[in-house]
Structure 1
Amino acid sequence: MTFDVPLVEHGPARSVRLPDAVGRALAASRILEEAGPDPYDPGAWRLRAGSRVGAVTLAVPGGEGVTVRITPKVPIARLLFLLGYSSDPRGWRDGAVDLAAHDDLLPAFAHAVERQIDRALRQGLLQGYRTVEESSPVVRGRLRESEQIRRRFGMPVPAEVTYDEFTTDIAENRLLRAAVDRLLRLPGVPRTVRTRLMHQRSRLVDITPLTRGQTPPGWHPTRLNTRYHPALHLSETVLRGWSAEHLPGQLRMNGFLFDMNGIYEDFICTALREAMRPYGGRSVLQARNIHMDEGDAIRLRPDFVWYGESGTPLIVADAKYKARRKRGFPNEDLYQMLAYCTAMGLPEGHLVYAKGNAPHISHRVRHAGTVLHQHAIDLEQQPAGLLAEIDALARRMLHGSAMSPQGSVSSGSFSDT
């Protein structure tokens, strides 16, 4: 018997009656923010979702299991836009795939991936050159002399050769095939979408499938594979999906979960980079080689840093996908941003939240003069409005990097937030 548990991202905890084995398995999987026995209701388990959204089925020995479906707070079409834009800002746009018939995240995502793969393959499978190393009864291409001596002890045949073959069995098609195979193994994919995925797999039947545990092949965007780009980016997202198939105690899990923290962070940083591109300079995401101390022992890693033409850091920002508390945003975020500004010698720092009661709040640090900005982005608006808001935010950041900060600035301490 499989128990179905619907939850909402960062929603209130629910008390659900589950067998102890199923509840313990769910707690061991760590896919939820909270999973433990309900102290006020014997036999029930208190469950609360965190930032992961999607669907996953957990099976335990004895045939029992649980399917957890976590609904995101943002509209599904908007979530897919955030994913697509982060992977390819010039590719995916809202409305590229009609999602009206799918209300749940996994069916909608599987539908979107299948539609993009179908568009990529309409003109036939992409072909290219692939390096092949094999044993052959005849010499073809170049002889691998060291391998010939090591394996054949001087015998002339079979010959160890390497050559370039023009084929459809290339990295791009292998990636599409792997994504299709992965989606077909997931529970919760509608029959209509599964049927279309089977059709796509029949198109890719001659492509070598990935074996379990094998690293997905890498690819590089070129003029020749332009029509594949949206499908390839989404296929990579499929293969990166959080899904552990083996857990302690012979537990088995299969599903697909997105981490909204990572999705939001990737989108904000990519959108800021695109918005600042016309102004020159250089944007670095997940910046490295930044240290807080002079001995370079304490490493910092801000989400976004913009460097001017001279190579000097001028803007630092961190994306935070978290809810505003009743009295304000968490103070720890301000401490972290102050460390970034101090280490890089910047007069301003920016924290970009996914929600908030005010679009912009600023704080001037006592005895330092550093101004810490807190911005709130509305993810529920249409993509055009969302990108326009990011553009306006980028202009505000650029304005503040070139002159004294303006606008509402609080002179209080962090406890004022």
Structure 2
Amino acid sequence: MSDPIELIEHAGPVPHRLPDAVGQALAASRIIDAAPDPYTAGMWTLRANSKVGAVRVEVPGGEPVTVRIMPKVPITRLFFLFGYSLDPRGWRDGEVDVAEHREVLPALAHAYERQVDRAICRGLLQGYRVTEETALVVRGRIREAEQIRRRFGAALPVEIAYDEFTTDIAENQLLRAGVDRLLRLPGVPRDVRRRLLHQRTRLADITPLVRGQALPKWHPSRLNARYHPALHLARAIVDGASAEHRSGALRIAGFLFDMNKLFEDFVCIALREALIPHGGRSRLQAPGVHLDEDDSVRMRPDLVWYGDRSRPIAVADAKYKAEKVSGYPDADLYQMLAYCTALGLPEGHLIYAKGNAALNSHQVRRAGTVLHQHALDLNQEPGALLADVGELAERMAQGAAAQVSGHS
């Protein structure tokens, strides 16, 4: 197998020799920016954007090509952001265990296997599951509609439904789905793969999920509390954070985090938690916000903080990197001004990762609206990072209080 291609998120373009089919597949997948060199056959210019992780492109008759994309922040910090976004109270006191791994996929596989082990070390959780089947004896209740539709009034066999106390419940099915998904991915270290296989053996009696099937639903409770961290990770692994598809005879498989979404999720969740002591309520991806009087232009601010009588008192938007749309280099500011105008707010807050945008406060001509740009240093320890979010919440609260007093 050829050496893996290693890139760093949002770093400069790097030339690599690739089969044209692989380069075209990477370009079409939009996992990275890939363009052929116009002067040298077989050379491609590769540039990572906001996605980090690893993918492997498999070409019929050729060697697989692995692309690894490293985040700029330390792996431990990335997983703190990830874990906190999934469950802020569960992850507040510590970071996700990623051991010594320096790459995203090995760290994720290790962290998930450790969480699964902690969840089921005292035995698999049991619960009631509704089972529907055809039987010769009545157990539970008769499904009358099915009996009539299938049996046309015949007495036997009987279509029945009953509650079964079993380990084959949603929680364990989701844990197994996460294990199965990781075992299919390339790049999981041998020792971690061995431990994952051990966990799958412990979950051997659990029904595997069929690819494309809706994920089983579970509800947090005191009984399944020890499962919560593993279940949050399992859902993220299985549901949507992956890269796996086919393009003709090519196959791309792997696992990727989108740093844009990861940063946005963390900031919104952490800011919502930090605003709780200040009263009011926060809405993420706030619904019901429109730019025009006819409510035909819908907007979705990342966070809107509402005070008494459900009146908006602050708005914030998280941006991992400053938007630089061609012809509109300050697109983030235009967007925030639109939010403030629609919500009737005198100021708005844009929150970036430190080093990814210029920071300032801008007072808009003739409107008086103030647009604040803040930065969070993701290289800090979790406690210091959350403290900075707390200071930002305090600043928003002070602005909201001044706004309320101005209206009174």
Normalising by structure 2, what TM-score? 0.94
Structure 2 letter corresponding to 1:211 = V
Q: Tell me the C-alpha RMSD between the 2 structures.
A: 1.9
Provide Cα deviations, 1:230-257, integer angstroms capped at 9, x if missing partner.
1111111111354343333222111101
Could you tell me whether the CA contact under 8 Å between 1:7 and 1:71 is conserved in 2?
yes
> Hey, what's the Cα distance between the residues in 1 that align with 2:317 and 2:356?
19
Could you tell me whether the CA contact under 8 Å between 1:131 and 1:164 is conserved in 2?
yes
Local SS of the residue matching 2:35? strand
User: What's the CA shift for 1:83?
Assistant: 0.6
Could you tell me whether the CA contact under 8 Å between 1:11 and 1:49 is conserved in 2?
yes
In the superposition, relative to structure 1, how do residues 286 and 97 fare at CA in structure 2: closer, same or farther (>3 Å)? closer
Provide Cα deviations, 1:87-114, integer angstroms capped at 9, x if missing partner.
1001125755543421111101110011
Could you tell me whether the CA contact under 8 Å between 2:57 and 2:66 is conserved in 1?
yes
User: What's the CA shift for 1:357?
Assistant: 8.2
Q: Count matched residues.
A: 401
> Hey, what's the Cα distance between the residues in 2 that align with 1:337 and 1:145?
57
Q: Percent identity?
A: 67
1:106 equivalenced with 2:101 (yes/no): no
Structure 2 letter corresponding to 1:219 = W
Equivalence for 1:226 = 225
Equivalence for 1:236 = 235
Equivalence for 2:213 = 214
Equivalence for 2:272 = 273
Provide Cα deviations, 1:128-173, integer angstroms capped at 9, x if missing partner.
1111111111111110111001001111111111111111111111
Provide Cα deviations, 1:62-108, integer angstroms capped at 9, x if missing partner.
23331110000010000000010001001125755543421111101
Structure 1 letter corresponding to 2:7 = L
Equivalence for 1:143 = 142
Provide Cα deviations, 1:287-344, integer angstroms capped at 9, x if missing partner.
111100000110000000111132111111000011598xxx9411010000000001
Provide Cα deviations, 1:337-359, integer angstroms capped at 9, x if missing partner.
00000001011100000124899
> Hey, what's the Cα distance between the residues in 2 that align with 1:146 and 1:95?
52
> Hey, what's the Cα distance between the residues in 1 that align with 2:296 and 2:209?
41
Equivalence for 2:313 = 314
Structure 2 letter corresponding to 1:103 = R
Structure 1 letter corresponding to 2:125 = L
> Hey, what's the Cα distance between the residues in 1 that align with 2:369 and 2:95?
43
In the superposition, relative to structure 1, how do residues 239 and 358 fare at CA in structure 2: closer, same or farther (>3 Å)? closer
> Hey, what's the Cα distance between the residues in 2 that align with 1:111 and 1:234?
11
Equivalence for 2:59 = 60
Provide Cα deviations, 1:383-403, integer angstroms capped at 9, x if missing partner.
000000000000001101111
> Hey, what's the Cα distance between the residues in 2 that align with 1:252 and 1:104?
22
Equivalence for 1:205 = 204
Structure 1 letter corresponding to 2:5 = V
> Hey, what's the Cα distance between the residues in 2 that align with 1:175 and 1:49?
31
Could you tell me whether the CA contact under 8 Å between 1:323 and 1:356 is conserved in 2?
no
> Hey, what's the Cα distance between the residues in 2 that align with 1:333 and 1:35?
26
User: What's the CA shift for 1:59?
Assistant: 1.0
Could you tell me whether the CA contact under 8 Å between 2:323 and 2:330 is conserved in 1?
no
Local SS of the residue matching 2:222? coil
Provide Cα deviations, 1:162-213, integer angstroms capped at 9, x if missing partner.
1111111111111100000001111111111111111111111111000111
Equivalence for 2:12 = 12
Could you tell me whether the CA contact under 8 Å between 1:241 and 1:257 is conserved in 2?
no
Local SS of the residue matching 2:161? strand
User: What's the CA shift for 1:284?
Assistant: 0.6
Gaps of 5+ in 2: none
1:384 equivalenced with 2:383 (yes/no): yes
Could you tell me whether the CA contact under 8 Å between 1:302 and 1:318 is conserved in 2?
yes
Local SS of the residue matching 1:403? helix
Normalising by structure 1, what TM-score? 0.92
Could you tell me whether the CA contact under 8 Å between 2:76 and 2:96 is conserved in 1?
no
Equivalence for 1:414 = none
Equivalence for 1:412 = none
